[in-house]
Structure 1
Amino acid sequence: MPSPANKAKAPRASAPRKPGGSAGAVVVLGTGGTIAGVGRSATAAGYEAARITVDQLVAAVPDLQGMAQQGSLLCEQVAQVDSKDMDFGIWRRLATRIQELVDDPGVSGIVVTHGTDTLEETAYFLHRVLRADKPVVMTAAMRPATGLNADGPRNLWDAIAVAHAAAAPVSPDTPADAPHGVVVVMSSQVWAGAEVRKSHSWHIHAFDAGDATALAQVRLEGSLTMRRGWPRSDALGLDLLPADDRWPWVEILTSCAGSDARAADALFDAGAQGLVLAGTGGGTLHAALEAALQRWTAAGRPWWRATRVARGGLTLEAPDIDDTHRELTPAQARVELMLRLMAR
């Protein structure tokens, strides 16, 4: 692993490689994040994300390095970004490359290294647009690559184990279908991409799925203990996505004590095309916001409720609530609303 002294040098992106010549290959797509971060020291709290390439991440894990040398593990650098700065261009590029790899008969699974800040948004987005009949496994880290007891190497190893499980024979004790769909592997837990969310700001056990359980657990040697079936999605497809970065403008507004209607009015006047309200409790909204939303309704601009509460989802019964997004976080609801606006 590169030392902190190398952090001033921006890593070069590895060139895409054709996986078709290696039957059952797993392809690891790097996008940056803390998992590729470099700190000032092994114990420093501060670090710089997205400094180490995906090739370097793989090379730092001896078992994975051997797989790469044998050609059963390939790496590509799709992006190199702190995930707080994730953008639609990267989403489109990432989704396009993943779909190409899913459609390649020489690939058994895809792994995506990502930052934790917007992991739940990217995972939900990929879940909704990809025809993923192979495992698309996202992973990340809460500690930089140079940190003491960095969690990235194990998370990456676990993610590749899940991706490789697609090529393994199905045993009588596992579900009849092979691993598929968008999932997230963190701390040896496998979460559904449509459900996962970040629930802690610094702990390595930082992700859960609200009230839902993990899909599976990765054992020490890499086998899976299944808890639920693999995720399925009515894929919207990539043709839905704009060719440029001018995606529908949807913002999130929080309902709180003293909420001011001017916030909703300002977004309306600026041309926002949709709005997600992070409501209190089961989805209630401040009266001032409810009054302001009448303009949105009259103009045919959609607004959705979500809840700012970590668990329980929307319990409120209201005509504006679509049952399909009751369990979504505000960030996930924003992605879903953008996709529905694209589909209009």
Structure 2
Amino acid sequence: MLDFSIRQFATTAAVGAALALTSLTATAQESDLPLIKVVATGGTIANTPDGRLSVDAVIEALPVVESLAELQTEEVTRVGSSTLGWQEFIDTAKAIERSLEEEPEIDGYVVTIGSNTSGDMAYFLNLVLDTEKPIVVTAAQRQRTTLSEDASRNFVDAVITAGTPESTGKGVLLVANELIHSGRDVVKQVVSRVDSWQSLDVGALGIVSGGEAAFYRTPTRRHTTESEFNLDEIESAEDLPKVEILYSYVDANPVLIEALVADGTDGIVVAAFATGSAHAGQRPPLSAAMEQGVKVAIANRGSNGRFTVEGGDYYDLSADNLAPQKALILMMMGLTVTDDSAELRRIFSEY
């Protein structure tokens, strides 16, 4: 077991040096190390004040990872996550699918991404990838070489988790701030603090401590090998159903709903009041949208708590305890296999 405990360092070099010293206690031989593929998309985890690094440069700055795993890399893109679209999500999933088929020797995967859509990526991959192998998404709040940066620690912890046999079969995970989250549950909550990632209702699955990933619970909702969704017939973002999020607020303008319907939207997720209701002014146009075949789901705009109602005059679906952005992903993938409201309700109850 690796025996190390780091707090916060001013530079990536300091992190690398401190971790490298602890690698002297490693007892595993190089031949026993897991083979991990890093699939990179950019983000703060690859950022410095002087610019964004390639995935290979990120690894070179952290020599300790050589004692944790043998690494291969693939860079899908190199941008901030607020720039990513569904096409980049598809491309990332396809890159992992190709590797699963062509590189069976790979033991696990780390996906690096910007923090803004890290939870979205984790849930998307959780629904579409058919594998029990560990897939760990990670991101960072603070740029490399800046004071109290978390990029180095999060990357190292993600590699540890991806190389841990106990990570097998738990779906896509997100590792940050020494916690292991389910891709279904985790959301980014805070602008810049390193504790931004939270699994609000249910908590993290485990922790990364002392060079080990330790699990204390396991996901029960369907994912990965148990999922009915895939990207077999989806090559581009244009192949995906159009789903949008609409916020409920005081005197919400119904014209927004009418505009979405006119634009050909297939589904609407209403980020509703915490009681599970949309604003009264939104209800008639939502009902009209349903009459035109648009699916409507109610989610909690506070991203916490569970909606269990099965349907109403102005919505078909309840998002359970999914945050609105997670409900959008599930509705989008659900609409790739069915447009039946009863079937979509089943999907929301199982995922």
- Range into which the TM-score falls when normalised by the shorter chain: 0.7 to 0.9
Matched residue, 2:320:
326
Q: Which residue of 2 aligns with 1:269?
A: 262
Partner of 1:342, secondary structure, is coil
SS of residue in 1 equivalent to 2:240 = coil
State whether structure 2 residue 35 is matched by structure 1 residue 37.
no
Q: Which residue of 2 is the match for residue 111 of structure 1?
A: 110
Asked if 2 retains the 8 angstrom alpha-carbon contact of 1:198 and 1:207, the reply is yes
Q: Distance in 2 between matches of 1:23 and 1:144?
A: 29
Match of 1:52 in 2: 53
Shift of 1:192: 0.3
Partner residue, 1:79: 77
- Superposition map of 1:99-138 within 5 A: 99-103=97-101, 104-138=103-137
Q: CA 1:206/1:123 → structure 2, altered by over 3 Å: closer, same or farther?
A: same
Structure 1 residue 317, shift from structure 2 partner: 6.0
Q: Please tell me the residue identity of whatever aligns with 1:205.
A: D
- How far 1:67 sits from its partner (Å)? 6.0
- Counterpart AA for 2:335: L
- Counterpart contact for 1:26–1:110, Cα < 8 Å: yes
Task: Give distance in 2, aligned partners of 1:219 and 1:211.
Answer: 23
Q: 1:264 and 1:141, CA in 2 relative to 1: closer, same or farther beyond 3 A?
A: same
Q: What is the Cα deviation at residue 337 of structure 1?
A: 1.3
The structure with more helix, counted as a fraction of residues: 2
For structure 1, the 5+ residue unaligned runs are 4-20, 41-47, 171-176
TM-superposed deviation, 1:178: 3.8
* Separation in 1, partners of 2:100, 2:304: 33
Q: Are 1:189 and 2:179 an aligned pair? A: yes
CA pair 267-91 structure 1, distance change in 2 beyond 3 A: same
Which one of the candidate residues 93, 96, 100 is aligned to 2:94? 96
The letter for the 2-side match of 1:108 is D
CA deviation map 1:61-111 (0-9, x unaligned):
12124667xxx2111111111100111221111101112333432110000
Does 1:288 find its partner at 2:277? no
Task: Assess, with a 3 A threshold, how the Cα gap between structure 1 residues 33 and 148 changes in structure 2: closer, same or farther.
Answer: same
- Give the number of equivalent residue pairs: 304
Q: Does the C-alpha gap of structure 1 residues 151 and 2 become closer, same or farther in structure 2, counting only changes over 3 Å?
A: closer
Tell me how far 1:230 sits from its aligned partner.
Answer: 5.3
- Given that 2:46 and 2:143 are in contact with CA atoms closer than 8 Å, whether structure 1 keeps it comes out as yes
Q: Say if 2:348 is the partner of 1:338.
A: no
Equivalent position SS for 1:115: coil
Identity of aligned residues (%): 30
Corresponding position of 1:205: 195
| Structure 2 equivalent of residue 16 of structure 1 | none
1:230 and 1:293 map into 2 onto residues whose CA distance is 33
Residue 259 of structure 1 is aligned with which of 232, 248, 252?
252
Residue equivalent to 1:162:
161
Question: Greater CA deviation, 306-315 or 133-142?
Answer: 306-315
RMSD, matched Cα: 2.4
Distance 1:2 1:150 in 2: 8
SS state at 2:164 partner: helix
Q: In 2, are the aligned partners of 1:241 and 1:342 still within 8 Å (CA)?
A: no
CA apart distance, 1:163 = 0.9
Give me the whole-angstrom Cα distance separating, in 2, the residues matched to 1:205 and 1:59.
Answer: 26
Q: Name the CA shift for 1:321/1:288 in 2 (closer, same or farther; >3 Å).
A: same
Measured after TM superposition, the shift of residue 36 of structure 1 is 1.2
Stretch of structure 1 that moved more, 296-305 or 238-247: 238-247
Q: Distance in 2 between matches of 1:269 and 1:58?
A: 48
For residues 316 and 259 of structure 2, what CA distance do their matches in structure 1 show? 24
2-side partners of 1:126 and 1:78: how far apart? 15
TM-score by length of 1: 0.82
Moved over 3 A (4+): 21-24, 65-68, 177-180, 242-246, 315-323
With over 3 angstroms needed to count, the CA separation of the structure-2 counterparts of 1:240 and 1:333, relative to structure 1, is farther
Cα deviation, residue 132, structure 1: 2.3
Please report how far the alpha carbon of residue 32 of structure 1 lies from its aligned counterpart in structure 2 after TM superposition. Answer: 0.4
